[in-house]
Amino acid sequence: MTERRDSDGAIHETTTEARAGATGHMARYVLIFGTGLVVIIFAIIFFIGAEA
């Protein structure tokens, strides 16, 4: 990988070069699990608050 520089010294890379990696599928599962957990916690808080 060679760096391409402007006359002012700025480095220009493609998005693939700048990213230099891949996003795993684990992030998707963490987001789904976290969102589900928040919904469950809010439902518990709602029902406990409704009883009081």
Residue 52 is predicted with a pLDDT of 65
Which residues lie across from 12 on neighbouring strands?
4
Which ranges of the chain does DSSP label H, i.e. alpha helix? Answer: 15-19, 26-51
Is the pTM value of this prediction over 0.75? no
Q: Residue 27 has what pLDDT?
A: 86
Distances (CA, A) of 26 to 22, 30, 49: 12, 6, 34
The pLDDT tens digits along the chain (52 residues) read 566 766 777 777 777 777 776 667 888 899 999 999 999 999 999 999 887 6
pLDDT, tens only, 9-19: 777 777 777 77
What is the token pair recorded at 20? 């230099």
* Buried/exposed code over 27-46 (b: 16+ C-beta within 10 A; e: otherwise): eeeeeeeeeeeeeeeeeeee
Q: What is the pLDDT of residue 47?
A: 92
d(CA 22, CA 11): 22
